Amino acid sequence: MRAWSWIRAYSVAVYLFMFAPVAVVLLLAFNSSQFSGFPIEGFSLRWFRRLFENEAIMRAFETSITLGLLTSVCATTLGILASLALVRYRFPGKDWITTLLISPVLVPETVLAVGLLIFLRYLSMPRSFLLLLLGHSIIALPFVVLVVQARLVGIRRDYEEAARSLGAGPFETFLQITLPLLLPAVFAGALFAFTISFDNITATIFWRPAGVETVPTQIFGMLRNSVSPEINALGFVMIVVTVGLPLTAGGLARYFARRRQ
Amino acid sequence: MARVELQSVTKSFGQITAVKKADVVFEEGSFTTLLGPSGCGKTTILRMIAGLEAPSAGDILIGGRRINDLPIHKRNLGLVFQNYALFPHKTIGQNIAFGLKYRGVPKAEARDKVRQALEIVRLPGVEDRYPTQLSGGQQQRIALARAIVIEPDVLLLDEPLSALDANLREEMRVELKSIQHRIGVTSIFVTHDQSEALAMSDRIVVMSAGEVQQEGAPEEVYNTPATEFVARFLGAANLFDARVTAADDRLVELETAAFGRLTLPRDRAARLGDAGPARLVVRAEKLALSEAAAPPGTVSAAATVAAVDYQGQLARYFLQIGDSQAQAIQMIDGRPYPEGAEVTVSLRPEDCTALPPASPDGESGPTGR
Ligand SMILES: Nc1ncnc2c1ncn2[C@@H]1O[C@H](COP(=O)(O)OP(=O)(O)OP(=O)(O)O)[C@@H](O)[C@H]1O
Ligand SMILES: [Mg+2]
């Protein structure tokens, strides 16, 4: 009994320690004080107002969202195609290709970042937004592949074979049968890809062209001068985007699934 | 509707040969069953006809046309799977209309056809439901409706009843057969259930280990098995060692240890030579038990009842006849013979079949059930 209450207390402490910083950011975002820190002097939305007036931050937001959406589209498309190949077809070197596709998760991001830069130098190409998109897609791809593959394995081939026998060509079969059945995984993968891109800082610092800032690199830049309360508001927005988006999507998916029954 | 023909079709998966040089003709409008134990290559044959697997060698003809290289979606076949494979994200109506879309059937006409198909399978008015809202038997009817609504040249059914429970299975078997009869589509049905095969088929193709063992009408396959495997696989059969002692064009005389000499009509021993060893096949229900002397026109032997399996109106007896064991199935009037009873078993020679003994290399196969 005693051992269990110890474990419980310990777990609570660990979780508190982990989530306290998040709570602090969320709280301080509404603090009216000039200085980022406790005590909380009063409730105010002024830091949010300041945030929306800050052009650099708004530009960074725009970049991040564009980049996130594009990454999501690229990684999801590639991920679906790769999963189809890996699950539905047999070809030599399949295991190697699987490992290769998953490897960006395993390789330290710094190594990946430097690697891609050196490769570009070798091709004598400058850093560009396209490179950033390419890089983010590589980082997000494994997650999409893992999620989509898991779902695809569970979709029996009977469905596709039935569709084919009824007269649907291979592409029609994909559009009519495979893709709709895959959709939950496609959504999950796309969300993953978006949040991974939106959150990424390590690789982005290496890859971004001069003058381009994403939200994380912008925050990083601002922190070097001082911890402005604006950053708390920005943190609040980021948490809402990266946590709220998947939660909302999940809730919507459940809602529609229930209506179907 | 069309005739389907396999011309020495072989299919290998790496080292495994799933189908060996199969030559089979499925007549136009007939209901043919591919029967055999698990893994004998039934599904593989069906999938090759459907275009889901390519034959390693040989040709497949549908309606006289070689279709080896025709992709699945251009073959116009109806496919019914063991697990129904109804599209879970489409309504029943959309499921059935799926194939019509690719045949350029206008919307209104498609709706009519869907309604007709649902009437044929006796499930009218379920167009707007989803597959999960139907029972297993109902789902299988929808799968059938989806396959027949496109008016396929051939209907291919891979163990369509095996996922249903016993009562429903027997009901569906009658219904499936009557639907097939009504629309007259050439049907190829796969099963490992011999009673299903006997009940439904115009013709049965018995397979074992990738090879066709026998092909014929149900009674033909049942009464005159061509190989020991077929004898054992369909129904309960007894096999006794025998020797040909005399033979001509009309009659074959055999000597057996258990029953002495008996004479069979030639057509019951068509595959036997004029001398040498043979196997006498006697169906369990053709062995008659009695306490009195054997009736005239039969051969008989003394036997001991070793065990009784009482099944209500029937009893299955396990008998010891001299050195050999045998099974007998009999209707019971009164009480079954008890264990240890001394009885006379008799059989009519014209109910038996004689085969050459199985070659040592193959055909030992699984034993009968
Ligand atoms: N895709 C495949 N790859 C490798 N071997 C296969 C493949 N499909 C079938 N086989 C092999 O071919 C043989 C015949 O298989 P098939 O599925 O035709 O059997 P079946 O008669 O339908 O059996 P069941 O009654 O169990 O369905 C089996 O030994 C099986 O292992
Ligand atoms: Mg099978």
Compare B214 and A223 and report the one with higher pLDDT: B214
Say how far apart CA A113 and CA A203 lie, in whole Å. 5
Determine, yes or no, domain membership for B204.
yes
Picking from B122-136, B195-209, B274-288, which range would have the lowest pLDDT averaged per residue? B274-288
**What SS3 state is found at A213?**
coil
- B300 and B176 belong to one structural domain: no
Last residue in a domain, options B223, B249, B273: B223
Give the number of domains in chain A.
Answer: 2
What's the mean pLDDT when you consider all of chain B?
Answer: 87
**What SS3 state is found at B262?**
strand
Token pair recorded at residue A255: 């809602």
Phi and psi, residue B224, nearest 5°: -125, 75
- B96 and B219 belong to one structural domain: yes
CATH number of the domain at B326, please. 2.40.50.140
Q: Structural domain of residue B296, as residue ranges?
A: 236-355
Phi and psi, residue B251, nearest 5°: -130, 155
Listing DSSP states for B220-245 in one string gives HHHHS-SSHHHHHHSS-EEEEEEEEE
Say how far apart CA B193 and CA B262 lie, in whole Å. 33
**Residues contacting residue A41 through CB under 8 Å, at least 6 positions apart:** A31, A32, A33
Q: Is B99 close to A166, i.e. CB distance below 8 A? A: yes
Q: Output the ligand 1 site: residues, CB below 6 A.
A: B 13, 16, 18, 36, 38-44, 192
Tens digit of pLDDT for each residue in A191-249?
Answer: 889 989 998 998 898 888 888 889 888 888 888 777 677 788 888 888 888 888 778 87
**What SS3 state is found at A215?**
helix
Identity of the amino acid at B244: V
**What pLDDT sits at residue A259?**
65
**What pLDDT sits at residue B364?**
41
Compare A255 and A20 and report the one with higher pLDDT: A20
- A76 and A5 belong to one structural domain: no
CATH number of the domain at B194, please. 3.40.50.300
> B51 pLDDT band (50/70/90 cuts)?
very high
List CB contacts (< 8 A) between B83 and chain A: 156, 158
In angstroms, the Cα distances linking A218 to A12, A201, A211, A213 are 34, 10, 11, 6
Residues of A with CB under 8 A from a CB of B: 156, 158-159, 161-169, 172, 176-177, 180-181, 260
**What SS3 state is found at B35?**
strand
**Pairing mode, if any, of strands B251-256 and B260-265?**
antiparallel
**What pLDDT sits at residue B321?**
86
- B88 and B184 belong to one structural domain: yes
Give the number of domains in chain B.
Answer: 2
**What pLDDT sits at residue A90?**
87
Q: Is B130 close to A260, i.e. CB distance below 8 A? A: yes
**What pLDDT sits at residue B167?**
82
Q: Quick check: A121 pLDDT over 90?
A: no
**Residues contacting residue A207 through CB under 8 Å, at least 6 positions apart:** A113, A116, A117, A127, A131, A132, A135
What's the mean pLDDT when you consider all of chain A?
Answer: 87
- A40 and A60 belong to one structural domain: no
- A2 and A84 belong to one structural domain: no
Q: Give the predicted TM-score (pTM) of the model.
A: 0.80
Average the pLDDT over A146-151 and give the result.
92
Token pair 């909302």 in the structure block, residue: A248
Nearest to B40 by CA among B22, B60, B67: B22
Q: Is A166 close to B81, i.e. CB distance below 8 A? A: no
**What pLDDT sits at residue B365?**
39
Instruction: List the single residue in A with minimal CA-CA distance to B81.
Output: A158
Nearest CA to ligand 1 atom 1: B13
- B216 and B244 belong to one structural domain: no
Listing DSSP states for B90-151 in one string gives S-HHHHHHHHHHTTT--HHHHHHHHHHHHHHTT-TT-TTS-GGGS-HHHHHHHHHHHHHTT-
Share of chain A above pLDDT 90, in %: 35
**What pLDDT sits at residue B77?**
92
Compare A91 and A28 and report the one with higher pLDDT: A91
Q: Is the peptide bond before B218 cis (omega within 30 degrees of 0)?
A: no
Q: Quick check: A96 pLDDT over 60?
A: yes
**What pLDDT sits at residue A37?**
67
